[in-house]
Chain A
Amino acid sequence: MRDFDYAAPTTLADAVMLLSRGNGAARPLAGGTDLIDHVRTGRLAPDTVVDIKKIAELNVLEASPQGLRLGAAVPCYRVYGHAAIVADYSALADSGHIIGGVQIQTRASFGGNVCNSGPAADSTPSLIALGAVCVIAGPKGTREVPAEDFCTDPSKNVLQPGELLVEFRIPARAKNSGSHYRRFIPRNEMDIAVVSVAASVTLDDAKQKIIAARISLGAVAPKPLLATDAAAVLIGQVPTDDILAKAADAARKIATPITDMRGTAEYRTHLVGVLVTRVLQAAITRAKGEKLDYRPGH
């Protein structure tokens, strides 16, 4: 593996300073499950690796009436091990549970997953569907970017040199809300999404009509997408099969997938429809407060 230096700052200011100094040749290390592999294979060539796991701000995990704060370096197992997340921000738990195997989940963080900015990243659609905002620290101070605007292209995002993703802020959940994330993979685990979908829905007091919805698609465009039109189809509607099919159609329209070894463009577009329908059904089940019968991979 390429030679590099290692630093483990304990303050945000020091981390920003270290990342700024390297002129782009410093890379943050959270769980390392992508970074170390990418350095080994030569995809990344950092001079300095900045371990950001010792910084308090990046480890915050806090659910309150104001919403959820999720530090960028919090590993997956803490996400799906958090009762409030499982109950109220379920899509995040769904994502965290299927990123790599259990060993990877000990280390991999949502922040790292989002910053790698893979179109098929498993955490990004859930964050988008739940309306997360990315809090970014940098040499010029702090700024906030909505999750759907964070990634720009495969392996590219809005972070400027020296900037560091600190945490996600996710709005509090309205009552009668439910969310779900699911991906399609050929195996049942340990795979990269061929297509993935996250959705969040809120039902009216009678739990009949959808009053709010957000849908996000992964692996069907250069970056994870917010499917605004698909969500709009649902508002004010009773989620019949017909309505869900319309939402699926709208989602398919914005998919611009590529053909690669994981699937053809045509197949992926087809899967968008299948998954949007299934994920919406699951999110609605949860919004009704019913138990969702779901086994990852099935």
Chain B
Amino acid sequence: MATGEKRKYKVIGTRPLRHDGVDKLTGRAQYGADIRLTGMLHGVVLRSPHAHAKIKSIDTSAAAALPGVRAICTSADFPDQVGRIVELGEGAVNMRHLSANVMAHDKALYKGHAVAAVAADSIHIAEEAAKLIKIDYEPLPPVMEVLGAMRDDAPLLNDDVRMTEMGTVKPETKPSNVAAKFLFTKGDVTAGFAKADIIIEREFRTATVHQGYIEPHNATVLWNADGKVTVWMSTQGTFTARQQTAELVGIAVSDVKVVPMEIGGGFGGKISVYLPPVAAILSRKSGKPVQIQMERAAVFEATGPTPGSFMRVKVGATRDGKIVAGEAWIAFEAGAFPGSPIAPGCMCVFSCYDIPDARVEGYDVCVNKPRSNAYRAPGSTQVAFAMETVVDEICEKLGVDAAEFRIKNGAKEGTRRVDGPVYHRIGMIETVEAIRDSEHYQSKLTGPNRGRGIATGFWFNAGLKSAVVATVNLDGTVSLIEGSTDIGGSRTGIAMQLAETLGIAAEAVKPQVADTDSIGYTDVTGGSRVTFATGIAAVEAAKEIQKQMVERAALLWEVDSASVKYEDGKVIGPAEKSFSFAELAAKIHEVGGAVIGHGTSSSAEQGGAFGTHCVDVEVDPDTGKVQILRYTIAQDAGTAIHPSYVEGQMQGGVVQGIGWALNEEYFYDDKGVMRNATFLDYRIPTCYDVPMIETIIVEVPDPAHPYGVRGVGEVPICPPPAAIANAIHAAVGVRMRDLPMSPPKVCAAVMQKK
């Protein structure tokens, strides 16, 4: 269901078959691990068994002597990076830390940290060789939890990390695990709370969780005799992968070509590189192409996760249900190196509401876990869990309807956020209204131990840079080349925008994702940006084609091009002359060469996306197990280009959020070893755990996009933990403030209440 005006587009809003569908359904699509090169070696990465240890020495001689071993690498093979800060598209990265994460230097900072790698004729030989590498470790005490790591006497991970604030370090600051502090204020928070009739202040914790993409990381690299390096890999961003690889192995960016293979999920976790620099060094040393595929355990132990957190949120409201003040103190686990999404966490905690006075303080803290990475609306899910359960508690105490409270206090155009800027046109309230008016919310929920909860979430959505090239073919089709790797069907969404602008069918566009030598710079497939920003580039390209097609028609008709116009998929000239797009395409060579349009986007920034969710749960009070009975998500998609894939993003995000809410977590033992690095014990939802996910697409067009697109990929993961926590409270009367809300915790809470 789409709200808003009636259909004004021919292609946008329809559901064409995705262009890459048949390849993916028949097993023909080539993912990263599917490439086969002549003479290809197989690489294995040896990983630290310790969560925190000095590496005193590495002896690779026995491994090198094993027949079939072709190359071995350690951090000694990588150039020194000192402390350079490099912009890598999505943000600034300390190259020394990135390098040390790819291959541990003098210290292993988490269990699973790469310490050496081997390339051999077969994967089995490489595995045997890796076991022969002797490493002398001096184990150090690990620190696994964010508040513990902030203490002065905590084991120190990185001696080059000192707390920065607004990018600068105070001179007297000592090295610590606290890498950064953020502070945002709006108005006078003390005065704000003084106006409150009710104040709720609660503490929350969330566990470390993983993106859980099904395809492990992989890279296949050929370091050719001419010094040119080709990388075939699954990545969310070929250009950032290219830059990271070049910087880490110390060659010119232009000497690296990244060829995007199909990618088996990313969710933010396939932006940082792990394997390409390692495979590149192994290829350079062996003179052969090297393929490395991570094992699933390494994917959990050494990639991914999104931070565990500690949060304190305080909200004040008046008796008549108006929020007057908010305060939050948030600490995120960065993992081994700085860089958690603490800043967006701080900026999102109060982002759904119009709060006059607010203050948010946040900390980025290193612990002995894998370096954290982006995961779908990074930082926003944690804080939504905290804020939205506090809001629910206020609604409960005031006896007001949770939807009406959100409508009354919701952020809208003109609302100033705690981080300062004022919202443009957004659809927060519209999503709450859509839930309030839904059959689900209006229906009666009956039965014991059942409850309903709602929650709202926000994500900024990124703009960033994209490029496309489109070529008109003589048969009236258009070949579309883009740089955005396609994780979820975005090729079709981009093709549809080109098709809409040209007035041709989606099927007449043939999209493909090109390597870094074949298309202009394009930022990552992340930040919910592809349909928005690459879409803008495609619209630009289409407009350029329109212009050239008008010129060609003018030449064919021998008229002034000013008398020709492009309208509704047709080129129309004087005296009722007209060509359909296909008719004209067949004739373009009569008066010129290829018609090629190109488009880039770089300055457009999105207005942000909101979603409101409604969930019914049933709690087994004897075991603490929570079953999801019914789930509805309403989300502002701006304009839904391909509704099926918009719904798909919403449904997928919700189910990831359900996993985060109920069962997903890293279990560490006291030595800092993850005990559940398998899909058996890291429990992502199966289809038997969830119901159908009902979707309501709300359309409040984003004025920053020609068709009003808002990115839809990330925000659906934000509300589920809070919505489920609120539903659990409605079902059995307990407030869960610790993720995941796994059966033992819910059971204990229910028993305690009894």
Instruction: Name A's B-contacting residues (CB within 8 A).
Output: 1, 3, 184, 186-192, 194, 260-264, 267, 270-271, 274, 297-298
Q: Are A264 and B744 in contact (CB under 8 A)?
A: yes
CB distance from B2 to the nearest CB of A (A): 33
Given A1-B124, A274-B623, decide whether A189 and B686 contact each other with a Cβ distance below 8 A: yes
Instruction: Show 28 A/B contacts (Cβ-Cβ < 8 Å), sorted by A.
Output: A1-B124, A3-B124, A184-B623, A184-B625, A186-B625, A186-B662, A186-B742, A187-B663, A187-B685, A188-B686, A189-B686, A189-B688, A190-B686, A191-B680, A191-B683, A192-B680, A194-B743, A260-B675, A261-B667, A261-B675, A261-B676, A262-B681, A264-B744, A267-B744, A267-B747, A270-B747, A271-B623, A297-B688
Residues of chain A within 8 A (CB-CB) of B675 are: 260-261
Complex: how many Å from CA A194 to CA B683? Answer: 13
Q: Is B627 an interface residue (CB 8 A)?
A: yes
Contact of A274 among B622, B662, B667, B686 (CB under 8 A): B622
Report B686-732 residues with CB < 8 Å from chain A CB. Answer: 686, 688-689
Q: Are B627 and A186 in contact (CB under 8 A)?
A: no
CB distance from B745 to the nearest CB of A (A): 9
Complex: how many Å from CA A271 to CA B680? Answer: 21
Q: Are B748 and A188 in contact (CB under 8 A)?
A: no
Q: Are A186 and B663 in contact (CB under 8 A)?
A: yes
Q: Are B686 and A1 in contact (CB under 8 A)?
A: no
Contact with A along B736-754 (1 / 0, CB 8 A): 0000001110011001000
- B contact face: mostly helix, strand, loop, or mixed: loop
Complex: how many Å from CA A173 to CA B679? Answer: 39
Q: Are B683 and A186 in contact (CB under 8 A)?
A: yes
Residues of chain B within 8 A (CB-CB) of A298 are: 627
Complex: how many Å from CA A192 to CA B667? Answer: 15
Residues of chain A within 8 A (CB-CB) of B680 are: 190-192
Instruction: Name B's A-contacting residues (CB within 8 A).
Output: 124, 127, 622-623, 625, 627, 662-663, 667, 675-676, 680-681, 683, 685-686, 688-689, 742-744, 747-748, 751
Complex: how many Å from CA A264 to CA B751? Answer: 15
Complex: how many Å from CA A260 to CA B743? Answer: 14
CB distance from B132 to the nearest CB of A (A): 13
Q: Are B743 and A186 in contact (CB under 8 A)?
A: yes
Residues of chain A within 8 A (CB-CB) of B124 are: 1, 3
Nearest-CB residue, chain A, relative to B668: A261
Residues of chain A within 8 A (CB-CB) of B688 are: 187-190, 297
Residues of chain B within 8 A (CB-CB) of A270 are: 747, 751
Complex: how many Å from CA A188 to CA B684? Answer: 11
Q: Are A187 and B686 in contact (CB under 8 A)?
A: yes
Nearest-CB residue, chain B, relative to A190: B686
Complex: how many Å from CA A189 to CA B686? Answer: 8
Contact of A192 among B625, B627, B681, B743 (CB under 8 A): B681
CB distance from A31 to the nearest CB of B (A): 16
CB distance from B117 to the nearest CB of A (A): 18
**9 nearest A-B residue pairs (beta carbon):** A261-B667, A274-B622, A267-B744, A189-B688, A188-B688, A186-B663, A261-B675, A188-B689, A187-B683
Complex: how many Å from CA A9 to CA B747? Answer: 50
Nearest-CB residue, chain A, relative to B663: A186
Residues of chain B within 8 A (CB-CB) of A184 are: 623, 625, 743
Residues of chain A within 8 A (CB-CB) of B742 are: 186
Complex: how many Å from CA A274 to CA B620? Answer: 11
Nearest-CB residue, chain B, relative to A186: B663
Residues of chain B within 8 A (CB-CB) of A262 are: 681
Known contacts A192-B680, A267-B748; 13 further A-B pairs (Cβ under 8 A): A186-B662, A187-B663, A187-B689, A188-B627, A188-B686, A188-B689, A190-B680, A194-B743, A261-B667, A263-B744, A270-B747, A270-B751, A274-B623
Residues of chain B within 8 A (CB-CB) of A3 are: 124
Residues of chain A within 8 A (CB-CB) of B625 are: 184, 186
Complex: how many Å from CA A262 to CA B676? Answer: 10
Residues of chain A within 8 A (CB-CB) of B683 are: 186-187, 191
Complex: how many Å from CA A274 to CA B625? Answer: 12
Complex: how many Å from CA A267 to CA B623? Answer: 9
CB distance from A269 to the nearest CB of B (A): 12
Nearest-CB residue, chain B, relative to A268: B744
Complex: how many Å from CA A234 to CA B124? Answer: 56
Complex: how many Å from CA A187 to CA B688? Answer: 8
Complex: how many Å from CA A271 to CA B689? Answer: 20
Complex: how many Å from CA A81 to CA B730? Answer: 41
Nearest-CB residue, chain B, relative to A295: B688
Nearest-CB residue, chain A, relative to B685: A187
Complex: how many Å from CA A218 to CA B124? Answer: 37
CB distance from A97 to the nearest CB of B (A): 12
Residues of chain A within 8 A (CB-CB) of B744 are: 263-264, 267
Nearest-CB residue, chain B, relative to A189: B688
Residues of chain A within 8 A (CB-CB) of B681 are: 192, 261-262
Complex: how many Å from CA A138 to CA B663? Answer: 44
Complex: how many Å from CA A191 to CA B688? Answer: 12
CB distance from A39 to the nearest CB of B (A): 12
